[in-house]
């Protein structure tokens, strides 16, 4: 018997909330709905979700950014997929800085939404592409060191906190230092998304990892191709 997979959909537009619920329930998910932050927090306290679909624009004085910030501040690392009506990089970056795992922009395909939920759950559960052996030795590129078994990151000797997705992206690059990974390959291997997905998911997450690692970041941009990790670092 498959375990229950529970999704909390925080959306104030009833038609969109019902559409998301219908498609998720068709795929076997249990779905809870909330239209504002206060209701979402009450529902999550009663029945903790495995993933949260979180609209940025919400009524009641607190928005999706506030909820994501509050979750991470109390140490709740339940995967969060932000949903925004604005295709604005500022919104995406703010959400990812707060620890969101992914984002989708309205209008979205319900099937794509379900695929994103599944991919985030696979990553958070340590699916085959993201699972590390406890005995796998740490990775070191330049000043950055990763402990794959414990999922810890240091710059020099200072710990750095990365989200699940950020860690998986950095680990994937650092496992093969110097090897250039096209964006499509990273989408497929790290996110479990189709390699022809047209979103800027990879670029936004790379920007966030670089921001957290500062001038020690080993991630190098190869124009027109993708990204690599090596001691030459960034060339944007």
Q: Are residues 209 and 117 in the same domain?
A: no
Write out the residue range of the structural domain in which residue 66 sits: 6-125
Same domain, 94 and 121: yes
Domain finish residue from 125, 149, 165? 125
235 domain residue, yes or no: no
Q: What's the CATH code of the domain at 62?
A: 3.40.50.2300
Q: pLDDT-based confidence at 33, cuts 50/70/90? A: very high
pLDDT at 39 over 80: yes
State whether 121 and 143 are in the same domain.
Answer: no
The total number of structural domains that make up the chain: 2
User: Are 112 and 165 contained in the same domain?
Assistant: no
Summarize pLDDT for 57-84 with one digit per residue, the tens. Answer: 898 889 888 999 899 888 888 889 988 8
pLDDT bin (cut points 50, 70, 90) of residue 129 is very low
**CATH number for position 143:** 1.10.10.10
Among 96-105, 195-204, 205-214, 224-233, the range scoring the smallest mean pLDDT is 195-204
Within-domain flag for 65: yes
Q: Is residue 34 part of a domain?
A: yes
Residue 92 has pLDDT above 80, yes or no: no
Which of 13-22, 123-132, 156-165 shows the lowest mean pLDDT across its residues? 123-132
82 lies in the same domain as 165: no
Does 215 lie in the same domain as 107? no
Residue 160: pLDDT band with limits 50, 70, 90: very high
In a domain, 131, yes or no: no
Q: What is the CA radius of gyration of the chain?
A: 18
Q: Please, which pLDDT band fits residue 192 given cuts at 50, 70 and 90?
A: confident
Parallel, antiparallel, or unpaired: how do β-strands 144-147 and 158-160 relate?
A: unpaired
Give CA–CA dist 100/68, Å, rounded: 7
Residues 109 and 58 both lie in one domain: yes
**Residue 70 falls within a domain, yes or no?**
yes
For residue 221, is it within any domain?
A: yes
Whether the predicted pLDDT of 47 surpasses 90: yes
Position 196 scores a pLDDT of: 64
Model confidence, pTM: 0.69
Q: Is the pLDDT of residue 1 over 90?
A: no
**Can you read off the two tokens belonging to residue 140?**
């070191």
User: pLDDT grade, residue 162 (50/70/90)?
Assistant: confident
């Amino acid at each position: 018997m498959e375990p229950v997979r529970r999704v909390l959909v925080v959306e104030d537009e009833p038609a969109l909330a019902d559409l998301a619920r219908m498609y998720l329930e068709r795929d076997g998910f249990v779905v809870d709905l909330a239209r504002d932050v206060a209701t979402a927090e009450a529902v999550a306290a009663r029945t903790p979700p495995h993933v949260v679909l979180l609209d940025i624009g919400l009524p009641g004085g607190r928005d999706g950014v506030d909820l994501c910030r509050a979750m991470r501040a109390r140490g709740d690392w339940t995967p969060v997929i932000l949903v925004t009506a604005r295709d604005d990089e500022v919104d995406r970056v703010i959400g990812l800085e707060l620890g969101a795992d992914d984002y989708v922009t309205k209008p979205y395909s319900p099937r794509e939404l379900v695929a994103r939920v599944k991919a985030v759950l696979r990553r958070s559960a340590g699916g085959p592409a993201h699972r590390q052996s406890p005995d796998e030795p740490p990775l070191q590129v330049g000043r950055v060191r990763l402990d794959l078994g414990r999922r810890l990151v240091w710059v020099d000797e200072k710990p750095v906190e990365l989200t699940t997705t950020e860690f998986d992206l950095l680990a994937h690059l650092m496992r093969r230092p110097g090897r250039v990974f096209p964006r499509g390959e990273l989408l497929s291997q790290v996110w479990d998304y189709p390699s022809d997905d047209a979103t800027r998911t990879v670029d936004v997450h790379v920007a966030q990892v670089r921001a957290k690692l500062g001038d020690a970041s080993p991630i190098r941009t190869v124009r027109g191709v993708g990204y690599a990790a090596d001691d030459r670092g960034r060339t944007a």
